[in-house]
Structure formats: structure tokens, C-alpha cells
Amino acid sequence: MDSSDSNKYTKEEMTITTTLVSNGCVDYKGRIADKQKTGGWKAAPYIIVNEVAERFAFFSIAVNMVAYLGMVLLTVSGSIDTLRPPHCTKKPCIPASPAQTTFLYFALALIALGTGGIKPCVSSFGADQFDESDPDEAQKKYSFFNWFFFAINMGALFGITLLVYVQVELGWAWGFGIPTCATIISIFILAAGWRKYRYQKPMGSAFTRFVQVIVASGRNHLRGVEVSRDDCRLYEVDSKESDIRGARKLAHTQQYRYLDKAAVITDPDINPNNRWKLCTITQVEEFKSFIRIIPIWASTIALAISFSQLSTFFIAQANTMDRSLGPNFRIPPGSIPVFSSVNALIVVPIYEKIVVPFLRPRTGHPRGITSLQRMGTGLFVSIVAMVSAAMVEKKRREDGGLISVFWLFPQCFLIGTARFSRTWGSWSFSTTRRRMGRGALAAPCF
């Protein structure tokens, strides 16, 4: 083989190497994922379109995957006479039997289970399709978050307008049947892109590792073990990668030094593979990272309370207000959250195309502001939204509920803005922590 052939093969090998991801993701065959064939915007459309269909179903009381069974049961409950109380023609209405109530609650419980399964995973799975070490893909990942949130609200818009109208006009059988079909379709859409996805290898249970740190540090504390500022006895595996499969090594930090006792080698003959007695520095630092995000997570609880008003108190307000839209149409109370969903259809394109390019050269941040700043903005806007809601409620009570339902538009619109800021910020924050090997549970917490 001459030198020209050798150079040709070397260049081909270098090209293949540079197109492989560096974040440990694999393709559907278990090989290191190739950027030219997988991930990025080749895979993201399947996830986004799936989210539109899934959110459409969810906001009509549905969710994906596990909740598919729950939606089927709700449809059955709304269709079969023996599984629901008879239609109320005069008061007092005939109440649901214990069996009917149990069936309904079981269906709703499955939907809650499905929500817990998909919500923490879908945005993280979307983020896995972009390699952070590639500047081009890293920038596209943040755009994905914005359009993913746009997809959520697009699905919500159809769910709380079209489906609420169907439920009112055609009944619950149709109202639940259509979301069930949408849920099934969303599963097929998600599955259609399986060859193009990038997959993270399982890392094991983070909670188990956390308990191991607590047990090992407590055990050594009771033995009188102390840790100095630069203790050379702290244990770490002697390899390039960490002991946690799929995670990189983490540098030691001085904060929460008590937990470092879990990584102190107290006995030279100790089994280094027994994590209940000896943890690695990376394992300890992973737990420290989880502790650090707890205050940030706790600060968003107030936001969740504000968001819940959209489907509770705001609808109760609307039920007593003038909902006329022309001489022959009245807006269903359940469609009032549409004011919030419309927000995303307006704010996301404006933020992506105008705000980010405006802020980027002034702040020096590629996304205009940081993830935590976005979350803080959401908190502030939610305060303004609640002040607006209080003022509208005061006026509603003073006018005996005769004011127009469009008085609710400002508070709903502001809640939509707060949700956009908080959701995008928490997604970005949690996926960044995951990429750094810190806080694998950040996304589920938020």
C-alpha cells in the first residue's frame, strides 16, 4: 500500500472520529452515536410532534405511555352507562356508586402515574440529542427547548379549546375518546424516530448511591474519622472514567465536608468495591450536587402554586363572569387557560428571534441570560400575575360577577410568561448539570 492510500484511510478514520458524539450517547445498535446520522434536528422533530399530541391529550385529561391505559379506562367510564351515574335531569342528582367512583379514581391514578413517568424524561431525552461539546449542536439545543415549550402550548391550545367544546357539546365519551386516540398516535410518532435517536446508557440508581454515601459517612463519623481540608486519604478509582457508569469524574469540593468521610480510606485491607463502606469522590460529589439544587428547586414551589390557579381558581372566576363572545356563543369556563397558552405562541418566537440576539452582545451569554436568571424572571412575573389576579377578583366581587371574562386575560397571560421563563430555565439548568455529571435527578425535581 503506497503513502497516498495510507493518507486516504487516515483521513477517513479522522472524519469518522470527529463525527462521533463525545457525551457517551449511543445509537439504537449500542454503538457510539454518529452526529451525521443521529440526534440533533434529525431526531428532535419526532419528540416535538409527539409532545404536541401528548399535551393535546393531557390537557384533555390524558398523558402518554402508562397513561394510555388510564385514558382507555376514562373513555370506557364515559361511554358505558353502568360505569357512571345517570345523566342528571333534576336535583337532587343520583350520586355515583362506590364501584363507579373507584373505577374513575383508578383511571385518574394511572394518568398521574403516566405523568410522573414522561414529564421528567421527555425534555432530558430531547437534550440528549445534542452534543454539548459541539458549539453548533449546543446552540441548537437551547433552540430545541424554546420550540419544545412552543409545542407543549400548541397541544394545550387545542386541548383546552377544541376538546373542551367537544366535551360540552358531544359528551364525555367523545371528550375522552379523542384524547385516547391522540395518545396512541403520539406513541407511534415517538417510536418512528427510534433509528435516529441518541440514547444515554443507564447509570444505575442515584438514590442508592446517595444512601451509600450517608451510610458510609455516618459509619466513619461514629468511628471518629476526621477530614482535613486537603485530605489525601479520599478514595477515587484509578481510571479515566468514574466508577458510575456513563458519568465523568467530579473534582473534590470543600463544601459539606462531613460527607467526605464516606470516601476516607480507614483500612488498607478494605474492599474498594464495597460502596456501603467506601465511596468514591465522584459519588460523594454527586450527592453534594443534589443537595445544592434543593434550595433552587424549593424556590419553584411557589411557582407551581401559581400555575395551578389556571385550572382551579381562574376557572371558578370565569364561571361567574360574562363569557359572551358574540350574540350566540359563550366561552366554556374550562377554555379560559387558552389565554396562557396563546402567550407561548407569541413569546417564544419573539424571545428566540429578537430578545436573545439583542441581549447576547450585552450580557456575553450565548442565550442572553443564564438559566437561573430565567427562573428568577419567572418568579418575579408570577408575583405580578397574582397581584393582577387579586385586583380582578376584587373588582369581580364589587360588580357581582357581571364583568367580562376578558378581565382574566392579563393574569393568565402573565402566568404563561412566568411558566415559559421558569420551564425553559429549569430544563436548561438540569440538562447542564447532567452533562457535567452533577445532579442526575435535577430534571425530575423540577
| Crossing angle of the two packed helices 135-158 and 40-58, in degrees rounded to 10 | 20
* Beta-bridge mates of residue 407: none
Q: Which of 309, 306, 305 is nearest to 318 (CA)?
A: 309
Please check whether residue 66 is in contact with residue 113, taking contact to mean a CB–CB distance below 8 angstroms: yes
The residue type at 350: I
Which pLDDT score is estimated for 444?
62
Q: What's the whole-number mean pLDDT along residues 367-379? A: 87
Q: How far is 168 from 161, CA to CA, in rounded Å?
A: 11
252-261, 386-395, 421-430: which range is least confident on average? 421-430
114 within 8 A of 67, measured Cβ to Cβ:
yes
Rounded CA-CA distance 98/229 in Å is 63
Question: Looking at per-residue confidence, does 164 or 294 come out higher?
Answer: 294
Q: Hey, which residues does 264 pair with through a beta bridge?
A: 234
What is Dmax (Cα atoms) for the chain? 95
* Domain architecture of the chain: domains with CATH: 25-192 (1.20.1250.20), 206-288 (no CATH), 300-445 (no CATH)
- Least Cα distance to 372 among 307, 428, 414, 419 occurs for 428
The pLDDT value recorded for residue 436 is 54
Q: What is the pLDDT of residue 402?
A: 78
Calpha distance 62→158 (Å, rounded): 13
- Residue among 176, 181, 187 nearest 64 (CA): 187
Distance of alpha carbon 331 from the chain centroid: 30
What does the pLDDT average to over 420-439?
70
Mean pLDDT of the chain: 79
Query: Is residue 351 pLDDT above 70, yes or no?
Result: yes
Residue 337's pLDDT band (cuts 50, 70, 90) = confident
Q: Give me the pLDDT at residue 3, please.
A: 47
How confident is residue 8, by pLDDT bands cut at 50, 70 and 90?
A: very low
Residue 23 has pLDDT above 80, yes or no: no
Q: What is the pLDDT of residues 245-287, one digit of tens each?
A: 767 788 888 888 899 999 898 888 788 888 898 999 889 998 9
Nearest Cα to 213, choosing from 248, 252, 263, 250? 263
Helix (H, G, I), strand (E, B) or coil at 17: helix
In sequence order, the β-bridge partners of residue 26 are: 32, 199
Residue 445 binned pLDDT confidence (cut-offs 50, 70, 90) = low
pLDDT tens digits for range 313-336: 888 888 888 888 877 888 877 778
Inter-residue contact 178 to 69 (CB < 8 Å)? no
Q: Which position has the higher pLDDT, 209 or 401? A: 209
How much of the chain exceeds pLDDT 90, in percent? 8
